[in-house]
Structure 1
Amino acid sequence: MTHPADNQSDTTDFALLESFAEAVFLIDMKGCILNANSSFATEFGKCRNECIGADIHDLIVTRFNSPALAEKFRTKIESVFYSGKRAVSEEQINDTYRKITINPVLSPEKEIERLLVIIEDISEQRHTDIQCKKEHSLKNAVLDMMPGCAAALDAEGRLLVWNQFARKLILGKGTNKKNVSADDFFPVKEIFLDILNTGKENNSEVKMSPPGTGEELWIATRGKRITINGQQCVVAVGIDITEQKQAEKETEKSRTRLTMALEAAKAGVWEWNPKTGESIWSDEIWALYGLEPCCKKTSFELFASSIHPDDRKSTLETLQAAAENETDLNTEYRVCHPNGSVHWLMSRGKPLFDSKGKIERYLGTIIDITERKKMEQALAESKKRFTFALEATNAGVWEWDLKADNVFWSNRIWALYGLEPDSLPTDHKLCQSTVHRADKDKTFQAVMSAASKEIEINVEYRVCHPDGSIRWLACRGMPLTDADHNLTCYIGTVMDITERKALDTSLKENELRFRSIFDHAPLAISIEDVETGTLIDANTSWLSLLGYSEEEVIDKPVSHLGVYADISESEYISAAFEKREKISNKPVVLRKRNGEMINVLYSSEFITLNEQALALVMMTDVTLQKTQQQNINQLEKAVADRTKQLQEEVKRLQRFLSMISHEYRTPLAIVRTNLDLVTMKNKMGDFSNKEEFFKINRAINRLVEVLEESIQESRISESHKKSTLTQFQIAPVITSQVEVFRNMWLERPVKYSECLNRCVMIGEQSQIKFAIFNLLDNARKYSPKDSTIEIECCSEASDAVIKIRNQGNRVSPNEVEKFFEKYQRGRNSVNTAGAGLGLWLVRNIVDQHHGSVTLSTSDSEIEATVRLPLVKTIAPSYEQ
């Protein structure tokens, strides 16, 4: 036998044949089967491989035991080959019916080279037709065999149809009268007129006597008005009750079978009068058109309006042509449901003729073929894509029948292997024929492993051509299974990928070179997606600089890493990316993973890779250089500040030494002079030295005072470094200093008033005491000896206010401010002890306590005012 592979048939034939649900096969003029689908093999009770190459006539004889059928089929084959016309026949084989369609298949030269035969099992349809005929005959027989009568009358009372019993009942025995009216059977005339006028169904029992018989029969009559071909008629039956019930039961069974048949086929029945346009639809048709049953009047216009606009014209033309030619109607069209969905329907109908041979109406069915249309469209698109893919890739097609261990190669695959077609045995070893020695074993193992696991074959390998050239091939194959899900064969393609492999090799080498340079570059380099800001890649220096691992940053937006310490710098870089502006050595502060800040010089270039816009970012760490420069700047500033401080200290020291020299020289001179006077008076025998000792004592006190103020200045300076602050009531502190002052200078009157209650402040009590005492002592020094010193204390808002007044000369505002400067004294301090530190120390202490101290003068008074902030509640002490 000749196998399809030997005829170089395309495996797409099998795929196309397999798409048919019916038994379909290809044969040549001699009746040799060239290809067939699985349904054909099932029809003839053989496997597909046994059918290929067999003679169809032998198969028909073997399968149906009918040489006559085989000879008849042979005759039709020859007829189609010679006439070139399609042949359709229906054959009864035993109790089954087959519709055989033979289609000629033309070659590119328009010659018939083979036939496409479709065998469709129409047994169910034919059995249904036979059953309908039987039922029709049965109904007529029932009418004649009824023990009662059955008749139909038109609107004029003419009898249209009646059975033998009705004829006997109306005309009597042996009468051949043809034109019969209601007057001929007077007893039912009134019933007939009532039914015709009211349209209501009537059930009555009528006593009748057939003419010439003398019999009286009670007939249970039932009459109903109906419309036939647009004419009103009355149908009446008369039968005894028992037989009527039996007839009703038989009628119900018949109706049930018809309904079940329609439901099984998902079909609806219609009737159409081409002359009047009147239509009758069954309930199923309304659903097929997406309408509620009887929601509108059935008409040809309703049918036309339901058709899709694109199909309406051609469908109506088909119906008109069928009506004009009085032929069968067979058309397919789309309908639009109210919900917007589109469905395909197939309508088939046959013309019914009246007694004059004129077409009276069409009777037919409609079924939904939407799913079939979808499959047909999917098949066409699949075939189109497959054909295009093969042409575009210049690939070859192969098929491997596992059961027969037979391999089919298209001519393209033979050429890819460097072989002549059919030059080697076509078994599974064919694919190893020219495979490179190094790839042969692994290729064979890959193919056999895929076949054993029933999975896709996907392998790439080299082949050696006779001319010594080596080509790379890619083989792909998909497993196919039978109806029982058993693996039967593989179908796939082979294509040449030599150029792609060479390109891949070159690309990999370039990538390795670039990767080596990229990874080992001392600069921190990264590649970012310009559109999304995603980090595509980063070298080792970049990861080391910021302290991240690849898993933490790759394929993540850089903005989400929080590496930019200043949001404005991040916005500047984002804006530059959007405008595709190059950045060169921009100083940027970055945040490492551990939070440490670093300084870098940021540069960017824009590149395109695989049609993707990318940014190549390079960063140089300048943190050390910047830190060193900052240290140098800070050192220079510190040296300058320290130099300035030293210069100021030298000036202050010079003023202090001058003051100390003056202040110490004067008391020492007084002490030396008075001691000389005491010595002289003692020599002269005068031992009254009270005045001299008083002067000496006062000079010594002055020296002590100067020394204490110098020491206090040092303490104040130290207190700037660390102060122990506590909460305390201020009133007792002030009172204690007033008492100390009174005890030291009993001769000076002091007027003290205090309204601070339990006011509390935060500070250092010793310093507050020193400030209060210093102000009291200042008031004593610069006021007349017998004058009163006044002290007033009160609270204003959240401050404690302390006012100390004494008599004194008026002082200018400029002088008042100078009193608070270090080593500065007033012009009236020539004969008054002091170092010029008292008020300076007071202001320093008050400032440390976030308060204020001021001096105000009048013609005869000087008033010092101190304001210190208070707290509302007493809290534990703390260190600042």
Structure 2
Amino acid sequence: MGQSIFVIDVKEGEFYYAGFNPTCERVTGISTIAAQGKTPQQIHNPQFAQIVRQHYQECLTLGDSITYEEYLPFQGQEMWWLTTLTPIRDQQSQIYRIVGTSLNVTPQQKIEAALQQSQTKLNDILNSVGAAIASFRLFANYDWEYEYCSAGSQVIFGYELQEARLDKYSWMSRVHVDDRVAILMPLFQDFFAERTVTVEYRFHHPSGALIWISGTYASRRDWAADCWVVTVVSHDITDRKHIEAALQRSEEQRRLALEFAHIGSWDWHIATNTTVWNETHFHLLGLVPSQERVSQQLWRDRVHPDDLAHIEQAKDEALSTQTDYSQEYRVVHPDGSIRWMLGKGRAVPNAEGRPVRMLGVIMDITDRKQSEQALRDSEEQLQLVLDANHDGIWDWNLLTNQVFRSRQWYEIIGYTPNDFTIDYEEWIDRIHPDDVEMVLIAQQAYLKRRSPDYIVELRMRCKDGSYKWCESRGTAQWDGQGRPFRMVGSLRDITARKQRSAELQRAKESAEAANLAKSTFLSNVNHELRTPLAIILGCSELMRYDKSLSSKQRERLGTIERSVQHLMDLINNVLELSKIEVGAAKLHLGIVNLPDLFQSLEDMFQMQARSKKIQLGIDRSSSLPQLVQTDESKLRQILINLLSNAVKFTEVGSVQLKAWGSTHQTLVESSPLTSSVSHRLHFEVADTGLGIAPGEIDQIFEAFVQAESGRKSKKGTGLGLTITRQFVQLMGGQITVRSVLGEGTLFSVELPTQFDQSQSTVSLPTLSLDRLNTPQPDQTLKARLSMMSDTWISSLHQAAARLNADRCLRLIEQIPAEHQSLALALRDWVNRFQFDRVLSLTRDPK
């Protein structure tokens, strides 16, 4: 049998071993002869001898049987025992002997240790995920007591379990007052109804931050404790932009206790088929000793029908082979409850070697079976947690250098658990060679506590030979001497994120290269094209003064001038557009004489309009002031671009420029009695040309885009309207267009400005040649000017009359070095837009 029996003699207060049964001899490795007459101190290791003697002394002192659990190793093996000591008295009622029976319960202890290890692993993994898990008991009076808080509670809420227990209302007080009343307080009814609910609420973190929490609450009734056990899983969702999938977490708080049942003994006489049970045997079967008559059939009636056959077969085999019998089976109590039993037995042979009796014991192992089932459930729950999380989990034992990895860990890099051993080095072998050193340095820095975190990005080789970018992070445990012994963490696939980052970097580099190429191109255009084109244009204009030229030659000169001017316009537009795109275009406000501006525009386009036999008209309203504050250069360019397009694309009819001013008065909010006055300029350029199709209206302001009429005529660059709109917007105005295909187009421009309405009736001098009233220029400058050719002076005079600053500056560049004082004066006047001084000097140079 599995039960060890030993006898101790009590003499003068000391204990002496008298004998062991065969089981005891086999288990302890000590024979009865070797043990007889020896004390516990002589038999057991000193570490355990004193404890053994204390139990003997307790039995002697109480004078009654005692049962206890003890750890007592024999023959180098760890063993746990359930021991019963029974005192034996003589005729004078003096205890002279103690009989001890011990049952080896080591398997139950190992199961309990395995269950505890599984629970520890589960807690470590739960603490490694980014959630706060708590459990508390809720009572009918709405009071509660905290039982458990995961490490995530400290991270998310800033509270530990001990703090919550010391001041349980502090946490509730930090919930946003609106959410406390509307969301959390109604939860008590859900708790009492054992409903599972998920809510979101705001929480004032001890750091001062207001964070958002998603909490899932599950409640169950604990009738024994007359309360409800509420489990809550909370997540910080403050910075969450994308929720992959709500992690399904279910935390059950178990109190696992293995209670070793009393031992039931039985003695079966085979020949008479009679059986003797002790009282415990009756209780284990759910029977009352005084109400039942012992028999084999009574035992069979209590065994679960599904288990009876194999139990009977095992007994028969034990009798026939005279071997030990050990079976686990279920018994059904009269009340219908089912208990698990461990039955052990051994045949007792007679002198001829035939079995005549069978002695055995039964013990209730229901708790052990439940523990085994709980262990399986816990492992299944652990696997569910791992399956719900897309990250791979790893658990590294630094003492054995072995690594546990979850199924997801293998799936990330395309492997199965069968492709790996638990050896740590196998993981290192699959890291990209260029990343190994970095990973090892990061690990050692963290394990030696030189770095607060272990987070690395590395490339892992997949089963197909390709590499994936992964993020590995972990947390370690250190012993009392500061030595790391365990590290738990996760592996995440970040390949897609890395690819997006690389694409963004390539796009950035490509854009920078394009900008550099653009800048180089514009620089070359500015320096390599404008200068020779200006020279060509100047030479062409000088040749026109040659009276010997034939009409054919003059026509060709006109073609050259128009072509060069077209290229110059294109270059100027491209450069101007590039300034706008980089934000280099600035406003230069000044006082502008509108009548003179309109006169110059009329002079500029009148000849072209007459050559096409179309009418050019400028209508200035009486509401238009003479002087306004604006950027004259940009206003001029806006009107030139619009008039140029109108004349260019009108073959029959007219081109009309209409201008007027308006004043708007609005109340100032801070002072109801005070008003604010704003002034605006309005311009309309209307033509009777080809018109623009409705589908092209939205495109004509885009760079290098022309309407169908422009593409057919092969005129223009497709930049004029783009620059016009940019200038209008830069000046704070707006531009609109209406057009009817085949009838004409109307462009409207509205610009803010500042002017005095009273100036509208003031007559000011303009830049007309016959109305100049300016100071007389310095006689030295006149002398210098007289050294230039009449052709050159006439060209400068005409350019100044047309307010053509670029043309003036090109002509000034032709002044010889010995007359630089003249060049400096003229250049300063042109840059300041003082064309009246230029005209005064060139009108009568001699």
Larger relative contact order, structure 1 or 2 (CA cutoff 8 Å, min sep 6): 2
Could you say which structure has the larger radius of gyration?
A: 1
TM-score (norm 1): 0.28
